[in-house]
Structure 1
Amino acid sequence: NMASETLYIAAPYKHSRALSKASGVEVWMKLENCQPSGSFKTRGISHMCVKHKNSPRFVCSSGGNAGLAAAYSGKQLGVPVTIFVPLTTTQLVIDKLKDEGADVVRGGAAWDECNQNALKFVEETGSVYIPPFEHPYIWEGNSSIIAELDSKPDLVICSVGGGGLMCGIVEGLVKRKWDDVPVLAVETHGSNSLYQAVQAGKQVTLPAITSIAITLGAKTIGKQAFELTKSHPIIPCLVSDEDVVKTISQFLDDEKILVEPACAASIAVLYNGKLKELASSNPKLGNVKKVVLVVCGGSGVTIEMLKNWKQMFNIK
């Protein structure tokens, strides 16, 4: 029975008066911040972990939400978990990983290096590697977001890091024969690996991530995500870190939900006029009335961090 095997929940689905008013379209929020482990990552990663529930150990390289989802899934399934985290990982996240019973190994300045260490450990120990975004099981798990919708939207908005969420959303749309529903794929200027790949017509590796949205920090977009831009109406879109910070603050006031910068990127387009601006020039967005916003969640935020970001950009 598959139903008892899922470790994620059917996330709340809720109309937002404030976002609808700000953007001029009807906005429905899929509140993935309510998932166990705090983000949409629980869907894809737990789905993959369930498929490998007889594994001796799960290994994941993520200083963030993928690691938290893997730690949660392992604990639920009774499988030990080792998480490799880059040196940039906050103590906040490391403590959360340890609270879920995971072993945490620090090493590698950035994710790429840290991932190499994880892969080596997998080889030595016969563990199962749980990638943060690039695997068909992960996309399949993430596609359940769309499976839960009651009716067809005119547009889905999501944030893009490595592209695992976007891949799942497109898979979900295709499964429901909603192939014509466009996806607005939002990144910040300093983490725009999808945007640059689409401009260049090939995967591009960014020299560095220069955004506060560190959990969008995949320097190269996933191969599958890039391929999908050729077959599905995907509209890459960029927002500034400053708008992201304004959005975290505004969204907290409006919806009483605190989101991390990576999640706020996709919400920013509804506050800052970007969606309206895109709709005026993009025929695919010409007749959008009902929008599904995936509030992807994430644990990398506190009120203190928000206060510091506001000071950084001189936001009152």
Structure 2
Amino acid sequence: MTLHIPTPLIESRPLSLAAGSNIWLKLDALQPCGSFKLRGVGHACEVHHARGVRQFISSSGGNAGLAVAYAGRKLGVPVTVVVPETTTERAKELLRLESAKVVVHGSSWQEANTLAQTLVGQGDAFIHPFDDPLLWAGHASLVDEVAEAGLKPDAVVLSVGGGGLLCGVVEGLQRNGWGDVPVLAVETTGAASLHAALQAGHPVELERIDSVATSLGAKRVADQALACAARHPVHSHVVSDRAALEACERFLLDHRVLVEPACGAALALTYDAVALAGYRNVLVVVCGGATATLAQIHAWLAVAE
């Protein structure tokens, strides 16, 4: 029994008509804590729990922190989550609903993460938001479920922040013998650390994150994400904040599921017929996001470029 649940795989008629391809949605927005993060985080927490850890420490005001909090509550392990000052009240409220202790520190995730590392004591486990082989192994289960359903896609579309989902999906594709299936990795302008690294041919740290898709806000992707791009077909795409936000609105209308702008980035590409030309069956990872509200998305749209 895993902490994550198998999520629906459905064909999207609205997206298929928009893209000119058969679009299949892996609805990980329906995980108990609202995002795909529970796959990897849950796996990591289960492994550490089996080793007898006494506390989970996390550094995320977003979906990773929520996944750790959920996993800790289900496993009966106390959780401390360090979040930056930019974290919304809604996100902090959701963390507390899962019985996590919330510590606010620093103006960025990097600063929150630095403090979180100092809180890890003997017998505790630090759960990284994206850069951990245990996470990637857990995220790979998403592809296993698609394979079990009998669908081999011609391409996979997903959003990239720190690269944890990308690493997991590539691992899943490889272990299912789908090394020929390309991944279309989507970021927003202002948070495109993978795109910058691929262009440079080596890891690049962005000077700052300048995007409303804060869940994609890793200034530097995991080194493993670049390694995956070197051994698997990974194609980088960048969309605007406005395109991501409009995709969130459109997806809510089409499928009655509200996702955050980080997920909207992948959906924005999927609504673009030109981007998917040549792919017959496309799998889209609807990664979710628990902290977005419709009012917030409308407010961002009012000022988005």
Q: TM-score, with normalisation over the residues of structure 2? A: 0.96
What does the per-residue CA deviation read over 1:17-62, in whole Å, with 9 as the maximum and x for residues that have no partner? 0000000000000000000100000000000000011210000000
Please say if 1:303 is aligned against 2:299.
Answer: no
- Runs (4+) off by over 4 Å: none
What does the per-residue CA deviation read over 1:89-146, in whole Å, with 9 as the maximum and x for residues that have no partner? 0000100100100000000110111111011111x45410000011111000000000
Q: CA deviation at 1:274?
A: 4.9
Q: Partner amino acid for 1:291?
A: V
What does 1:247-262 correspond to in 2, within 5 Å? 247-262=247-262
Q: CA deviation at 1:309?
A: 1.8
Q: CA deviation at 1:303?
A: 1.5
Partners of 2:303 and 2:28 in 1: how far apart? 28
Counterpart of 1:113 (choices 107, 111, 114) is 111
Counterpart of 1:61 (choices 37, 59, 62) is 59
Structure 1, unmatched stretches of 5+, are 280-285
Contact 1:243 1:272 in 2 (8 A): no
Partners of 1:212 and 1:274 in 2: how far apart? 25
Tell me the equivalent position of 1:282: none
What does the per-residue CA deviation read over 1:205-242, in whole Å, with 9 as the maximum and x for residues that have no partner? 00000000001000001010011111100001100001
SS in 2 for 1:184: strand
Counterpart of 1:100 (choices 85, 98, 101) is 98
SS in 2 for 1:134: coil
Contact 2:157 2:270 in 1 (8 A): no
Q: CA deviation at 1:8?
A: 0.3
Partners of 1:216 and 1:313 in 2: how far apart? 16
Greater mean alpha carbon deviation, residues 22-31 or residues 148-157: 148-157
Contact 2:161 2:187 in 1 (8 A): yes
Q: Root-mean-square deviation (CA), in Å?
A: 1.1
Counterpart of 1:91 (choices 74, 89, 92) is 89
Please say if 1:52 is aligned against 2:48.
Answer: yes
Counterpart of 2:16 (choices 20, 25, 31) is 20
Tell me the equivalent position of 1:198: 198
1:67 to 1:141, Cα distance in 2 relative to 1, 3 A: same
SS in 2 for 1:226: helix
Partners of 1:155 and 1:67 in 2: how far apart? 29
Q: CA deviation at 1:85?
A: 0.4
Please say if 1:37 is aligned against 2:28.
Answer: no
Tell me the equivalent position of 1:217: 217
Partners of 1:191 and 1:135 in 2: how far apart? 21
Q: Percent identity?
A: 47
Partners of 2:116 and 2:260 in 1: how far apart? 26
SS in 2 for 1:294: strand
Structure 2, unmatched stretches of 5+, are none
Tell me the equivalent position of 1:168: 168
Please say if 1:263 is aligned against 2:263.
Answer: yes
Tell me the equivalent position of 1:238: 238
SS in 2 for 1:145: helix
What does 1:133-148 correspond to in 2, within 5 Å? 133-148=130-145
Q: Partner amino acid for 1:15?
A: E
1:39 to 1:175, Cα distance in 2 relative to 1, 3 A: same
Q: CA deviation at 1:271?
A: 1.6
Partners of 1:273 and 1:159 in 2: how far apart? 18
Contact 1:28 1:290 in 2 (8 A): yes
Q: Partner amino acid for 2:177?
A: K
Q: TM-score, with normalisation over the residues of structure 1? A: 0.93
